[in-house]
Structure 1
Amino acid sequence: MRQLQSPGPLFGSALQSIRTKSGRTALSCLSLVLGVLSIVIVEVASSTAAQVVLQPAELQQGRSNTWEVSAPATPQSMQAASSVMRQWPGDAALLVTDQSVVVHASATGQHIQVNAYTGSLRAIRPFPVLHGKWPADRPTLTPALAVNQAASALGGLRIQPTPGSQPLPVHVSAVVDDGSSTPQVWIPLQQLRSRAGAEAEATIHVIARLDGEHAASTQSRLNSAADAFGLKTNGEAQRVDTVDDLAATLDTMRTTFLIVGGVTLLVGVIGILNIGLATLSERSEEFALRRSLGATRVDVAVLVLAESMMIGLLGATAASGVGWALYKTAVPIFADGVEPDAFPLQACIVGLAAGASAGLLGGAIPALRASRLPIAVVMRA
């Protein structure tokens, strides 16, 4: 029984055959580039959409299954809301929007929206800290606050806790991305209450979420918690996030375009198949000679498959390169806020896998036919 050849010489022979037939190899690669490129573009678009659509939605509205109840800010409601937040089994935070508190920029005089918070806010709305450290929720001599990128560009911020009071200097402890393009500041509630307290025009927002819970269950539990602690809300708990709906829409679009890309890739597979069958007759004597010199049927099949897979990988590499160039060129123009240097590695991996699979499928039939060529072919030559 003849032994199989080691993979090294077989792949070396496949590479040599590709190099000697560079023109035909280029045509085979070209038939694959468009198909693999479509797959790469879909993966890149999916990753970019997650940054452009899903991430801002989480920052502004909260992660999946985020619910909110609101109430007027009174001492009783503040205490009740704090109890709801502390006893909540998942992530919960308390936001207070107080129209009487003013933060303004000294240079421009522009007023900035103030958001007072306590609890696990960043577990619900995962603000990335770009510079500095997120302020601790405890009283300090100088108010420490976080600002978004729009507010950080203003500079010279001062806070006026109550109408007519003397503006106080603040310490900007962090610059965060909160998904908003308008200037906003985030200040710990204890720091604000120690200077202003709760005003009549302020509104409390209890935001809460649960992992692995159905939406109806989370809503019911939040309503029950508010009733149990005597929080007189402005209505039933409302879902404030749209992450699941956006993700479902993006997944549907991704699946649709992947199907189109798969059809395009199938054309490339057929191209490799046609070229493989055309070259089979030209190389029949070579394969028969290899068989007569000791190569097995499996050796011949592996040789043909290795060539087609290398062609597939070459086409996939070219497609990934074109996809990278398009990403670097188009993203700064059409997707504001996405870093053009962050080309998704997953797109390259998927593209290479698609190219290798296409080469394997396109070379399967020629490999099978080559392995079945009779040794007598070389005797008739």
Structure 2
Amino acid sequence: MSRVLRSCVHDLRARPLRTVLTALSMLVGVLAVVGVSAADQLSTGYVVAAHEQLRGREATYALSTTIGPQDVAAAHRWVEGVQARIGPQDAAVGLIVETAVRGAPASAEPGAGGRVQQDLSARWVVGAVDDVYRRPLVTGSWPRAGTSGAPGVVLNEAAARRLEVTRVPATLTLGTPQDGTAAAAVVGVVADGLSEPTVYGTLVEAAEVWPASLPAGSATTYLRAGVESFGAAAPVLREAAEVAGIDLVDRDVRRVDTVEEARASARVVQSAFVACAVVALVVAGIGILNIGLASLSDRARELVVRRAVGARRLDVFVQVLGANLVVALIVSCGAVALAVLGVHVVAPALTPHTFVADPVTLPWPAVLNGTAAAVVTSLAGAAAPAVSATRLDVADALRS
């Protein structure tokens, strides 16, 4: 075995240009498989995440009604009742009351010279919004009830631009068409994917500090559970509302997320990625085959001399094939190192922290498949030259 390995290494060192070209062909094949798999993972993750950002995470069910300021305590009991029935380890639940407010920076002066108050959509929340929706924070944090005298709020990016909020914490003056104004502390900015300027706050704090912000508005309780759990989710939402004393205008429970449709759309792109990987591997194999056949004519005399001095056909076959196999193993190790570096160092450095999709992880199945494909491609590309080498006519070659 050591003699065969020494022969292969000597063969590679004797023809460095051929070795480099063969290695590059293999490297392209391995990195193509890994890169295509990572790109597929990223594109699919982004499509699904964009849908979860706007319509809710996978398997999100909703029940809507109308509540007013007097129903805030009942709304909390509704959420607590759902949580008690499902268990926090099995699902997530949150309630959102949608109203409308007006906002302007606290520094804006009233009158003709001041800034006009902007119309905003307000969403007062019980529970964590990001448990139901995929909404990463651009800066700051989500508000917590009772942390300050002024209600803490989070703006989406559209509202932050409209109100010219460039950093947090900041102070806003919020008002309603029915009542006066109140100061609010902006503690964060969130990427929610909505084009409508929106402010988020906690329902309990809005009810205590600024009840005028809660006229009778649409309230929706969202329950994120298993994909096949609609039959269990619907009665849980209805029963918890009735026990809490919530008057349900409509008892219709619906699934609001569109993740299944997003995955169906992503499958079309996946087919294109697979086709690209196959093409890259075929190109790599053709490159190895061309290099092997081109070098065979240059090495014909060397190989037949070996045959003349006693080398068997198997020895010649192993010499030609083994050199490519050694290159394949070395290149595969290098490709794995480059893939790890790209996924864990390069990709995080180039990805903005507000990117809605989950970070790309190293696709180990693709790494293993790419390595195996590189070895198989190398053997397939070198097999024809190796077989041709064993069939060289010793007498004719020596006479020439």
Give TM class, smaller chain. Answer: 0.7 to 0.9
Q: Relative to structure 1, is the Cα distance of residues 75 and 303 closer, same or farther in structure 2, using a 3 angstrom cutoff?
A: same
Matches within 5 A, 1:68-79: 68-74=62-68, 78-79=72-73
Within 2, Cα distance between the matches of 1:41 and 1:218? 38
Hey, what does 1:164 align to over in structure 2? 179
Q: Is the 8 A contact 1:132 1:175 kept in 2?
A: yes
Superposed CA deviations along residues 315-336 of structure 1, whole A, max 9, x for unmatched, are x89x99xx99xx99xx99xx9x
Q: Is the 8 A contact 1:29 1:312 kept in 2?
A: no
The Cα shift of 1:251 comes to 2.8
Give me the identity figure in percent: 22
Hey, what does 2:97 align to over in structure 1? 96
Hey, what does 2:111 align to over in structure 1? none
Q: Which amino acid letter does the alignment assign opposite residue 193 of structure 1? A: A
**1:87 and 2:101 matched:** no
Within 1, Cα distance between the matches of 2:71 and 2:21? 73
The Cα shift of 1:249 comes to 1.8
Hey, what does 1:54 align to over in structure 2? 48
The Cα shift of 1:183 comes to 2.4
Q: Is the 8 A contact 2:79 2:126 kept in 1?
A: no
**1:65 and 2:79 matched:** no
The Cα shift of 1:354 comes to 3.6
Q: Relative to structure 1, is the Cα distance of residues 54 and 75 closer, same or farther in structure 2, using a 3 angstrom cutoff?
A: same
What is the RMSD computed on CA atoms of the aligned residues?
A: 4.8
1:204 to 219, 242, 250: 219
User: Which consecutive unaligned segments of at least 5 residues does structure 2 have?
Assistant: 109-114, 166-170
Hey, what does 2:256 align to over in structure 1? 240
**Secondary structure of 1:145 counterpart:** strand
How many residues get paired? Answer: 360
Q: Is the 8 A contact 2:175 2:182 kept in 1?
A: yes
TM-score by length of 2: 0.69
The Cα shift of 1:193 comes to 0.4
1:112 to 112, 116, 120: 120
Q: Relative to structure 1, is the Cα distance of residues 132 and 221 closer, same or farther in structure 2, using a 3 angstrom cutoff?
A: same
**1:364 and 2:370 matched:** no
**Secondary structure of 1:194 counterpart:** helix
User: Which consecutive unaligned segments of at least 5 residues does structure 1 have?
Assistant: none
Matches within 5 A, 1:136-151: 136-138=144-146, 140-151=148-159
Q: Is the 8 A contact 1:159 1:168 kept in 2?
A: yes
The Cα shift of 1:262 comes to 1.3
Q: Is the 8 A contact 1:93 1:119 kept in 2?
A: yes
Within 1, Cα distance between the matches of 2:24 and 2:270? 25
Within 1, Cα distance between the matches of 2:21 and 2:200? 58
Q: Relative to structure 1, is the Cα distance of residues 18 and 81 closer, same or farther in structure 2, using a 3 angstrom cutoff?
A: farther
Q: Relative to structure 1, is the Cα distance of residues 233 and 98 closer, same or farther in structure 2, using a 3 angstrom cutoff?
A: same
Q: Relative to structure 1, is the Cα distance of residues 82 and 128 closer, same or farther in structure 2, using a 3 angstrom cutoff?
A: same
